[in-house]
A and B are shown apart, each in its own frame.
Chain A
Amino acid sequence: MAITRETVLHVARLARLELEGDEVERLQRDLGKILGYMEQLAELPTEGVVETAHVAAERAPLREDALIPSLEHDLALAEAPRRGGGSFAVPAFVDE
């Protein structure tokens, strides 16, 4: 199955992945081969078959509705690459 360069770049943009150098060509080749293999699913008749999204969904219990302590503020921030004002700090996300 042929995957275009544009498709790889489009999907990479959706996944917030920058690709460098020859990565795009390699992924074009790999994705084409793997998606080509997955196409065999098309031959399988599945009309009216319900989907399995999760094998446990029908028996998930509810937790007791009780207050329990959550992660301490400082501990939650302890591994942040950058923090400021008691928060996680990020680069500007509104273009000036």
Chain B
Amino acid sequence: METALDLPVAELAAAVRKGDVSATELARGALERIRAKSSLDAFLHVSEEPVLKAAADLDRRRAKGETLGALAGVPIAIKDALCTTDAPTTCASRILTRRGADGRPGNAAAGWRPPYDATAVARLRAADALLVGKTNMDEFAMGSSGENSAFGPAKNPLDPTRTPGGSSSGSAVAVAGGMSSASLGSDTGGSIRQPAAFCGIVGIKPSYGRVSRYGLVAFASSLDQIGPFARDVRSAARVLQAIAGADPRDSTAAPLAVGDYAAACERDVRPLRIGLPEEYFAEGLDPEVAERVRTAVSRLEREGCAVRPVKLPHTRYGVATYYVVATAEASSNLARFDGVRFGLRVEPERGNLNAMYGATREAGFGAEVKRRILLGTYVLSAGYYDAYYRKAQQARTLIRRDFDEAFRDVDVIATPTAPMPAFRLGEKIDDPLAMYLADIYTLPASLAGIAGLTLPCGHTSARADRPALPVGLQLLAPAFAEEKLLTVAAAVERLCRS
């Protein structure tokens, strides 16, 4: 049933500020939907008490005549990779849980309680959003299907036998399933864009440095970026507006002015030039995905945008480059999970500190996390550093230059977000390399640190082996040109609906 919960973010917040709908009503409604759709496993933790209390506070403040914030009463879900003081934070890993009475690693309820909020979370609270809970994900954001969660995978609301994508799987499901108006995810190589595409919603990977990473559990620090999911472009823009901007707690959060993202959604798209990179329409791309993306771009052309081909010749090295850089950084970042300061500790009966480290990390990390730690340790180790890590950093420069070159001729690049629509749960889980190759279109933008956005541009046709599934259009713009992305995205949204 359609309710106020289904309104776009700006309209919903306006209704709350005016008193047409109470925050308490919205919090109850969201909690009810989360309960009704619990079989999708979108959430690892539902913040029932804190969200009802926050909603009651909002309603009280409004009754006293206070003006509420830009996201007043908007239910928002948070990826479990972001620190929250009122809910456990596990990164869907057993290593961020306490041991149960039976000596085994705990479940998500026994998760780590962070002593601080991530900056993006604190900014949502300051805008009076209602934080409904923590969403399921691939363990430490490592995965493209959600299946690497230590607590079981989230399911795609459009077909529960299929993956919602990953790693921000639950954040995409919460929004696509109507359980929250928006959500936060993190994107290291496509972890917002790919699940948004698979679930038929909007996802933004802001430029590296647009949003503070303070309080985001680090996977690959030179790539990680927090961004929003929403059901429409304008709603995603509102949430980005609330979380973007410099932060004294993160020196990589750029000290640059944040644009007016709501206004950007209303600007004329016609002066913007759109680039189509032939390398993104090569072998391995589902023909129906290619067709929907090309149709969306031709609608922009009919609208008056100049569309021209661009070359991104180093695209084919993106997967290899990314998985060297990301695993190297991950192996270093995940060294902090040592059983000393938080989370799980496993102490063998005999043995010293090293034995405790080894046993804790063996029991606490899942298969994919171990695989990536070992890969990263290998590419950084003596004798292999030059051939892998140094080489990948050079390839990263070439990939960046490709984009710099292309953006001389165009304002925004349009590509498919993923080479295929949502695949089946279990389909790729035994073949890590096949899973990595599914990220081929999202990785290069992450390596270059530029801005990315995905929005739905149609569906594949229903056939015997799969239902009609949403197709994502990826838009890319130079670093800190989020406004251009939003102008084009809002136009595509209008053109694809009419």
- The reply on B22 being an interface residue by CB < 8 A is no
**In whole Å, how far is A78's beta carbon from the nearest beta carbon of chain B?**
7
CB-based contact B331/A15 at 8 Å: yes
- The reply on A17 being an interface residue by CB < 8 A is yes
Among candidates B341, B361, B373, residue contacting A18 with C-beta atoms closer than 8 Å: B361
Among candidates B365, B433, B436, residue contacting A17 with C-beta atoms closer than 8 Å: B365
**Closest chain B residue, CB of each to CB of A96:** B352
CB-based contact A53/B371 at 8 Å: no
For the complex, give the distance between the alpha carbons of A59 and B252 in Å.
8
For the complex, give the distance between the alpha carbons of A74 and B371 in Å.
35
- The reply on A2 being an interface residue by CB < 8 A is no
Given contacts A49-B397, A51-B393, A76-B115, 19 further A-B contacts (CB under 8 A): A14-B381, A31-B378, A33-B433, A34-B323, A35-B378, A38-B379, A41-B321, A41-B324, A44-B317, A52-B393, A55-B209, A59-B254, A61-B246, A71-B116, A79-B343, A81-B340, A81-B344, A81-B345, A90-B353
10 contacts between A and B (CB under 8 A): A17-B361, A26-B367, A33-B432, A38-B379, A41-B388, A49-B397, A52-B447, A61-B251, A91-B355, A92-B352
**Closest chain B residue, CB of each to CB of A12:** B374
> Interface 1/0s, chain B 235-248, versus A by CB < 8 A?
00000000000101
Residues in A47-61 with C-beta less than 8 Å from chain B? 49-56, 59-61
CB-based contact A34/B436 at 8 Å: yes
- The reply on A67 being an interface residue by CB < 8 A is no
Asked whether A18 and B358 contact (CB < 8 A) given A54-B222, A64-B248, the answer is yes
In the complex, what residues of A have CB within 8 A of residue B390's CB?
Answer: 51
In the complex, what residues of A have CB within 8 A of residue B377's CB?
Answer: 11, 14-15
CB-based contact B373/A17 at 8 Å: yes
**Closest chain A residue, CB of each to CB of B361:** A17
Count A interface residues, CB 8 Å: 55
Q: Chain A at the B interface: mostly helix, strand, loop or mixed?
A: loop
- The reply on B28 being an interface residue by CB < 8 A is no
Chain A positions near chain B (C-beta within 8 angstroms): 7-8, 11-12, 14-20, 23, 26-27, 30-31, 33-35, 37-38, 40-42, 44, 46, 49-56, 59-64, 71, 75-76, 78-82, 88, 90-95
CB-based contact B375/A31 at 8 Å: yes
Asked whether A60 and B252 contact (CB < 8 A) given A90-B356, A91-B351, the answer is yes
CB-based contact B352/A93 at 8 Å: yes
In the complex, what residues of A have CB within 8 A of residue B246's CB?
Answer: 61
CB-based contact B255/A82 at 8 Å: no
Among candidates B113, B222, B374, B449, residue contacting A78 with C-beta atoms closer than 8 Å: B113
CB-based contact B347/A38 at 8 Å: no
In the complex, what residues of A have CB within 8 A of residue B362's CB?
Answer: 17-20
**In whole Å, how far is B285's beta carbon from the nearest beta carbon of chain A?**
19
- The reply on B354 being an interface residue by CB < 8 A is yes
**Closest chain A residue, CB of each to CB of B248:** A63
**In whole Å, how far is A79's beta carbon from the nearest beta carbon of chain B?**
4
CB-based contact B113/A93 at 8 Å: no
For the complex, give the distance between the alpha carbons of A94 and B370 in Å.
27
In the complex, what residues of A have CB within 8 A of residue B265's CB?
Answer: none
**In whole Å, how far is A77's beta carbon from the nearest beta carbon of chain B?**
8
Asked whether A49 and B394 contact (CB < 8 A) given A34-B375, A38-B324, the answer is yes
For the complex, give the distance between the alpha carbons of A71 and B249 in Å.
13
> Interface 1/0s, chain B 374-414, versus A by CB < 8 A?
11011101000001101111111110100000000000000
**Closest chain A residue, CB of each to CB of B340:** A88
**In whole Å, how far is B72's beta carbon from the nearest beta carbon of chain A?**
30
- The reply on B98 being an interface residue by CB < 8 A is yes
In the complex, what residues of A have CB within 8 A of residue B280's CB?
Answer: none
**Closest chain B residue, CB of each to CB of A88:** B340
CB-based contact A51/B251 at 8 Å: no
CB-based contact B395/A44 at 8 Å: yes
**In whole Å, how far is B123's beta carbon from the nearest beta carbon of chain A?**
18
Among candidates A26, A38, A80, residue contacting B388 with C-beta atoms closer than 8 Å: A38
In the complex, what residues of B have CB within 8 A of residue A94's CB?
Answer: 352
For the complex, give the distance between the alpha carbons of A70 and B298 in Å.
55
In the complex, what residues of B have CB within 8 A of residue A78's CB?
Answer: 113, 115
In the complex, what residues of A have CB within 8 A of residue B373's CB?
Answer: 15, 17
- The reply on B174 being an interface residue by CB < 8 A is no
- The reply on B319 being an interface residue by CB < 8 A is yes
